[in-house]
Structure 1
């Protein structure tokens, strides 16, 4: 039967006590982690968010009624203990921060009883994620998840402190906004007051933060909730959190400077990791050529090598065909993997096909110098030797090649490079390699829409020296855009914004917008620009992804309190759900019969 606290007040969290508190009278409160009843001697491990401490009920030093009561405790009961901190009478537990001490109780209250949970509340749980997410409130009691939430809270608090000291104002922007056609799908919210009309939940605060620059706020930030109706992956959620910022009267270097100092502070204060400044920069083109990715993992080498010129005269039809169609031939050198079994190589070929490759050519250099290759018969000995030299191939190496259009080759080898690094155990989670990627293409061609679309968004400033190509060769124009990457993950991105009317008009034309369409979609922003807009730029981090990497987790679900699963549903609350007909009628909505199946 549950008891009340009745004036009893907690003095310490469990993990806050140490040998320095020996002899002190304390009151702790938390959950029963474990009950070990030895008959006349009962050990209770009490857990709260700070850690675990042992409480010892023993004949001779503890009231008999209290020992009997302690013996009835079960896992996850919520209890309060008053007692004295004492040096452990038994062996020290090196695995516990409180392993040198124990509490000798004078009072025990059962504040809440508990049923047996559907899975053990323990670190590094082996329970299936679906079950843990259904009972997320229990899952969150696990010490590893609680550490993640504490880390996330610390990152958010330090970010607020740092940006406030840098002159940023924390300003909230609306959640109910206008749906826009660019980018991912919006989540739509029907309006009862305006039948047939909808709000769009923000994919980012982009337009509003630019309006704040027009308003003279000068420096803005927000830890903002954002929404995207898109297919999910391990690092994607339908709702996510951004550290969002915008600055006036700045250019690229100013934004990079303040963000490098922010990152250095976060990693130093939270993890004790020194971030060497300045963080290296690499253009988008160089990143693609060297790593096949615009978010390269630079913790290991295995860079791409363009061997188009080396193989252009060979008789291998795969290489010849790709080159004749305007593509390239590129390769990577997996050092020390020349003895890889044929079955494993075949699996790599299948892996590459998943990223658009028609196949994967290879050269396996044996330890004795002999060469096994899938295409050797189409090469002269001189051509084969030249290719191996171009790849810096040595005895024991595995050389892998892709031939196709650049985009396919980059996708294939960039992904294959990461897969091999995983297999070769080259990815050290204790190492943090930051990299700025700059000078992205402003536009990219969409086969689906048969037009150019903005790689970032329609308000990204082109590089001044490329403005002349905006009409004649749009694909050549580089953007004043920048991403900050960490260990092969994009953790943030931003750009300098267009603030001149004529440049913005040309940008809309390049995107295929008529003046009327641009005015209809973005008129409120364009109108604001008529009244004096400062040069401005900004950046936004994915807070969930940043914290995931800091916590050395593989999924952002492990650093979010209540995440969704891959179909964007919540297993705990069963959201989304059907609503009653009365609510739909008020909104002027009706569901098609097939939607109810």
Structure 2
């Protein structure tokens, strides 16, 4: 009987003859016996070698691949390992076959969770060894369970799982990232683009009458390297016809509720909270606030302008603002997780985020105090007003920041808010989902001053703001919605423009002329002119969504073979040069190397 290394967690195989395949994880050789901890994806089983097999067992090394036949037996009471699911049983080997030997691994493959790990560069270079560790494997299996739950949900709701093309036209994209291009050998001098999203083709699917589409899609973005990005990643992508944004949001909430029930074995409250984009910026400084904790931003410009604290007062005189956040920190007590050293780190963080610094104070004996005390003395004239406005209590920490640029100020304070809030750790809930709605259709490019789409050029304006399209297009709001989990944007979607003339008009407001529209998106506008239905959808970044559910920061741990932070392959070293001969012969291309 063939079994896995995890099957002996129950007594059903006791006294049975079995065969088993796996890797030698631990090898212990004694005078008259040898013990091998044999591992595979399913668990670890102890194999015992005696008598005539002992010499053969002595040839084994770590990570050798072997096949064993033998008889299952109970361990003696003293030999039971309560830390192993299979710890009550072992296999007495009757035959051993070495399928393959192994070089000495570059690092020890340790099963225990949280065990000391080698440098991540080394782990990811030998990812195929890293994935033999239970902790690493669990993360890949966790991802798989979530994807299975997602697929089952959409199948149950009569969605079609469709595959959109990967070799497509290099069209306009407003995200700021570039498209990976692929040269054509057949059509020399011409190129395909790899999709940054299945956006256009899923809209074409709706025009085709395929009213419920979903896909676990691979997408590609040639953007500047960032720690939390990968050049290729996976999306849950969906689109639906004859429905509104409320249907899409309700559908996603039901899907997530199922994931929590089936995979995390937890319950979450639905419907999720909603915040308008404008309100989110005002209260929390960004459009993806972490609502596991309160701590809203309060404008203290008026109060700080009346103090003797010139560091902030002078900025206000020059047109700047002062904003503050109160944190329930129990500062100065043994329970507090916040101390002077941590707040000094926050001052440096504020500088990293573009501010001149950060002012912090604390409440003691119903008064504002500071270190050095001269800061509190300088604001003492507004002591009661500030405490009242912030609703501050004994032991609370107050941060105050100021800058001429309101957008920079809000962005920096929102980051500080999340860092300090997480440090304090007083969460209202473990997982806080939020819909952010009513984004502007356009925003001004900070360099050129031109209007550019805040998200993409396909977002349908709301009925009550589309009237501004000719006079004040920057005042139009879109039927756009982002899904935020614990302060991380995990998805975004919208209702799409289904009118060809409106789509053309939006592209022209962006500054595209007729020729540019013709070259990039004429095929979509043509399709929209053949009776396009009302349609909309959403895309969730699966790598980030899965990592956030698992409470991990590094999405690479949930990707089978990720790229490094320079977007290079740990395994094969790509990207690599292509010979000039091949470029010339196959693609009629030449690279001028500087």
Asked if residue 204 in structure 1 is aligned to residue 167 in structure 2, the reply is: no
Asked if residue 292 in structure 1 is aligned to residue 291 in structure 2, the reply is: no
Unaligned runs of 5+ in 2: 333-337
SS in 2 for 1:276: coil
Alignment of structure 1 residues 29-48 onto 2, 5 Å: 29-48=21-40
SS in 1 for 2:464: helix
Unaligned runs of 5+ in 1: 1-8
Asked if residue 149 in structure 1 is aligned to residue 136 in structure 2, the reply is: no
Find the counterpart in structure 2 of residue 560 from structure 1.
Answer: 559
Could you tell me how far apart the structure 2 residues matched to 1:374 and 1:563 are? 51
CA, structure 1 residues 370+75, in 2 after alignment: closer, same or farther (shift >3 Å)? same
Asked if residue 548 in structure 1 is aligned to residue 540 in structure 2, the reply is: no
Asked if residue 171 in structure 1 is aligned to residue 162 in structure 2, the reply is: yes
User: Offset of 1:216 from its aligned partner?
Assistant: 0.6
User: Offset of 1:344 from its aligned partner?
Assistant: 4.0
SS in 1 for 2:434: strand
**Mean alpha-carbon deviation: is it higher for 333-342 or for 266-275?**
333-342
SS in 2 for 1:47: strand
Could you tell me how far apart the structure 1 residues matched to 2:205 and 2:182 are? 25
8 Å CA contact 1:361, 1:374 repeated in 2: no
CA, structure 1 residues 336+151, in 2 after alignment: closer, same or farther (shift >3 Å)? closer
Find the counterpart in structure 1 of residue 15 from structure 2.
Answer: 23
Asked if residue 116 in structure 1 is aligned to residue 104 in structure 2, the reply is: yes
SS in 2 for 1:99: coil
Alignment of structure 1 residues 582-593 onto 2, 5 Å: 582-585=581-584, 586-593=586-593
Alignment of structure 1 residues 566-581 onto 2, 5 Å: 566-581=565-580
8 Å CA contact 1:363, 1:374 repeated in 2: no
SS in 2 for 1:465: coil
Instruction: Select which of 164, 178, 184 maps to 1:191.
Output: 184
8 Å CA contact 1:279, 1:436 repeated in 2: yes
Find the counterpart in structure 2 of residue 228 from structure 1.
Answer: 221
Could you tell me how far apart the structure 2 residues matched to 1:286 and 1:351 are? 25
Instruction: Select which of 237, 252, 259 maps to 1:266.
Output: 259
Could you tell me how far apart the structure 2 residues matched to 1:500 and 1:322 are? 48
Q: In the TM superposition, what whole-angstrom CA distance separates every residue of 1:217-273 from its partner, at most 9, and x where no partner exists?
A: 111111111001113334310000111110000111110111111111112111112
Could you tell me how far apart the structure 2 residues matched to 1:395 and 1:369 are? 9
SS in 2 for 1:107: strand
Find the counterpart in structure 1 of residue 355 from structure 2.
Answer: 357
SS in 2 for 1:490: strand
8 Å CA contact 2:468, 2:475 repeated in 1: yes
Q: In the TM superposition, what whole-angstrom CA distance separates every residue of 1:139-176 from its partner, at most 9, and x where no partner exists?
A: 11111121111122222222222112211111111111
Could you tell me how far apart the structure 2 residues matched to 1:15 and 1:424 are? 43
Instruction: Select which of 48, 62, 71 maps to 1:56.
Output: 48
Asked if residue 71 in structure 1 is aligned to residue 71 in structure 2, the reply is: no
User: Offset of 1:201 from its aligned partner?
Assistant: 0.8
Q: In the TM superposition, what whole-angstrom CA distance separates every residue of 1:174-232 from its partner, at most 9, and x where no partner exists?
A: 11111123221111112222222221111000000001111111111111110011133
Instruction: Select which of 80, 86, 93 maps to 2:81.
Output: 93
**Mean alpha-carbon deviation: is it higher for 491-500 or for 542-551?**
542-551
8 Å CA contact 2:71, 2:91 repeated in 1: yes
RMSD between aligned alpha carbons? Answer: 2.3
Alignment of structure 1 residues 427-506 onto 2, 5 Å: 431-506=430-505
User: Offset of 1:519 from its aligned partner?
Assistant: 2.5
Could you tell me how far apart the structure 2 residues matched to 1:308 and 1:500 are? 46
User: Offset of 1:476 from its aligned partner?
Assistant: 2.8
Query: Number of aligned pairs?
Result: 579
CA, structure 1 residues 39+209, in 2 after alignment: closer, same or farther (shift >3 Å)? same
Could you tell me how far apart the structure 2 residues matched to 1:588 and 1:337 are? 69
**Mean alpha-carbon deviation: is it higher for 36-45 or for 238-247?**
36-45
User: Offset of 1:359 from its aligned partner?
Assistant: 2.4
Find the counterpart in structure 1 of residue 244 from structure 2.
Answer: 251
User: Offset of 1:592 from its aligned partner?
Assistant: 2.1
Instruction: Select which of 293, 297, 300 maps to 1:304.
Output: 297
User: Offset of 1:320 from its aligned partner?
Assistant: 4.9
Q: In the TM superposition, what whole-angstrom CA distance separates every residue of 1:80-110 from its partner, at most 9, and x where no partner exists?
A: 1222222221343222111222222222221
Instruction: With the length of structure 1 as denominator, give the TM-score of the two structures.
Output: 0.91
User: Offset of 1:41 from its aligned partner?
Assistant: 2.2
Q: In the TM superposition, what whole-angstrom CA distance separates every residue of 1:461-513 from its partner, at most 9, and x where no partner exists?
A: 11211112334333332211111111111111100111123432332233122
8 Å CA contact 1:220, 1:247 repeated in 2: yes
8 Å CA contact 2:170, 2:192 repeated in 1: yes
SS in 1 for 2:2: coil
**Mean alpha-carbon deviation: is it higher for 251-260 or for 22-31?**
22-31
SS in 1 for 2:95: strand
Find the counterpart in structure 1 of residue 423 from structure 2.
Answer: 423
Could you tell me how far apart the structure 1 residues matched to 2:374 and 2:508 are? 49
Q: In the TM superposition, what whole-angstrom CA distance separates every residue of 1:6-39 from its partner, at most 9, and x where no partner exists?
A: xxx7333435642333222222211011011222
CA, structure 1 residues 309+167, in 2 after alignment: closer, same or farther (shift >3 Å)? farther
CA, structure 1 residues 540+431, in 2 after alignment: closer, same or farther (shift >3 Å)? same
**Mean alpha-carbon deviation: is it higher for 315-324 or for 169-178?**
315-324
CA, structure 1 residues 326+180, in 2 after alignment: closer, same or farther (shift >3 Å)? farther
8 Å CA contact 1:231, 1:566 repeated in 2: no
Instruction: With the length of structure 2 as denominator, give the TM-score of the two structures.
Output: 0.92
User: Offset of 1:375 from its aligned partner?
Assistant: 4.3
